[in-house]
Amino acid sequence: MSTPGDFKIHATDGEARRATLTTAHGDIQTPIFMPVGTQGTVKSLTPLDLEEMDAQIILGNTYHLYLRPGDDLVARRGGLHKFANWKRPILTDSGGFQVFSLQEIRKLSEEGVEFRSYIDGSKHFFSPEKAIDIQKNLGSDIMMVLDECVGYGADKDYTNKSLEMTTRWAKRCRDHYPKGSGGQIMFGIVQGGFYKDLREKSLEQLREIDFEGFAIGGLSVGESTKEMYDILHHIAPKMPSDKPRYLMGVGTPLDLLEGVSAGVDMFDCVLPSRNARNGTLFTSQGKINIKRAEFAEDDSPLDPECGCYTCRNFTKAYLRHLYMAKELLSYRLNTYHNLYFYLDLMKQIRAAIENGTFAELKAKYEAAYAKG
Ligand SMILES: CNc1nc2c(CC[C@H]3O[C@@H](OC)[C@@H]4OC(C)(C)O[C@@H]43)c3nc(N)[nH]c(=O)c3cc2[nH]1
Ligand SMILES: [Zn+2]
């Protein structure tokens, strides 16, 4: 009988790992990409669409769902799985990032963070315990601790003080929901900015606490790709090898490949769904923007190598027309394709690790995406 949090590694290829993570709503095959469903929905897609494209897990967000419709309202409806009719695993972020990135007006103290609602300006307070209580109400399979994601360029002294508070908050989150006290598992979040010694310090402090997994926070906050990869390759291989590693908010197709090569197992990013809105589509030959005039009478599919509903049923000419006409269907068909592309890339990565050809797969996409 497998327990939520069990993590079994089946194969490795360099630092890359092919594993299975057990949750209360089923097993997750890693490496994995997690579509972002901030408000309990992956914008414009139905649960059926997501199951068709084999999305194994989606993300929800404490900050947004607490403010609207209310985590208590969701709890009274049986939790987020029932409310959104999503039967597979859900991971919820703690809201730390949203408070620190979306809010100018906020007060940070040892106790927690005070902020104003972006909806009606009302005042709210998140303590580590409150952030966990909200995720308990939502019933997510994987909960994230409340942390401070310091901004790009934060100085070393501030970054150090912040990571120490984040560790104290992490401990309070774990004490508030001890391991095994329910079917939900909890990940710690490594901070430390762009200082390698502080990253190691954050990890050393967190590994003392009994988390079922560890995330790398504080990246994809405006740094260069080189700076991100530098920290990634420094800290990921040092994280507990017998537990899942989650790189938060990352990234492009090349970032996913780079992250896997550094030993990362889980990724989330708004890019595939956000880019769908502005017509930037990911294909096996690189990125294209569907609004370009060259596609006006192009009767070929978006991506000849893609098996998704959009590519099997529509031409570039029609997708361009929908985009130019600002039709709702444009957003839905573009999102469907972009997420399918990301999920299919992860499927190829899992197979490549199993048969020891990960380096070749990475080189193929680096060539196709070289032009950026
Ligand atoms: C884009 N770059 C980026 N995102 C980050 C996140 C948030 C990740 C969440 O925010 C949304 O992406 C913007 C996603 O949709 C929901 C569902 C809201 O959850 C995802 C982070 N979260 C926490 N707790 N701590 C971090 O240090 C952190 C760092 C990040 N860097
Ligand atoms: Zn497609």
- Per-residue pLDDT tens digits for 138-165: 999 999 999 999 999 999 999 999 999 9
Kindly report, residue by residue over 75-104, the tens digit of the pLDDT: 999 999 999 999 999 999 998 888 777 666
Q: How confident is the model at residue 339 (pLDDT cuts 50, 70, 90)?
A: very high
Q: Which of 90-104, 119-133, 191-205, 283-297 has the weakest average pLDDT?
A: 90-104
Ligand 1 atom 11: residue of nearest CA: 249
Residue 103 has a pLDDT of 62
Domain ranges of the chain: 33-229, 276-370
Q: For residue 35, which phi and psi values (nearest 5 degrees)? A: -55, 140
Question: Helices 128-138 & 156-176, crossing angle to 10 degrees?
Answer: 50
Q: What is the mean pLDDT of residues 264-290?
A: 97
Q: For residue 295, which phi and psi values (nearest 5 degrees)? A: -95, 0
Q: Which residues are annotated as a binding site?
A: 93-97, 147, 191, 218, 306, 308, 311, 337
Q: Which residues are annotated as a binding site for substrate?
A: 93-97, 147, 191, 218
Q: What is the mean pLDDT of residues 203-214?
A: 98
Q: Which atom of ligand 1 is nearest to the CA of 94?
A: 24
Has 93 been annotated as catalytic? yes
Has 268 been annotated as catalytic? yes
Strand partners for 87:
none
Interface confidence, given as ipTM, is 0.95
Ligand nearest to the CA of 92: 1
Distance 248 CA to ligand 1 centre (A): 6
Cis bond before residue 121 (omega within 30° of 0): no
- Does residue 371 carry a pLDDT above 90? no
Ligand nearest to the CA of 306: 2
Residue 372 has a pLDDT of 60
Q: Which CATH number fits domain 33-229: 3.90.1530.30, 3.40.50.150, 3.20.20.105, 3.30.1330.120?
A: 3.20.20.105
Ligand 1 atom 5: residue of nearest CA: 249
Strands of 7-13's sheet, edge to edge? 7-13, 16-23, 26-30
Residue 99 has a pLDDT of 76
Q: What is the mean pLDDT of residues 178-203?
A: 98
pTM over 0.80: yes
Average pLDDT over the chain, rounded to whole?
A: 96
- Pairing, β 286-289 against β 280-283: antiparallel
Residue 197 has a pLDDT of 98
Ligand 1 atom 27: residue of nearest CA: 217
Copy the structure tokens of residue 1: 């009988």
Residue 106 has a pLDDT of 75
Ligand 1 atom 3: residue of nearest CA: 249
**Contact between residue 337 and residue 302 where contact means Cβ atoms under 8 Å apart:** yes
- Does residue 56 carry a pLDDT above 80? yes
The proportion of the chain whose per-residue pLDDT surpasses 90, expressed as a percent, equals 92
Residue 105 has a pLDDT of 63
- Does residue 42 carry a pLDDT above 80? yes
Of residues 13, 49, 71, 93, which has the active-site annotation? 93
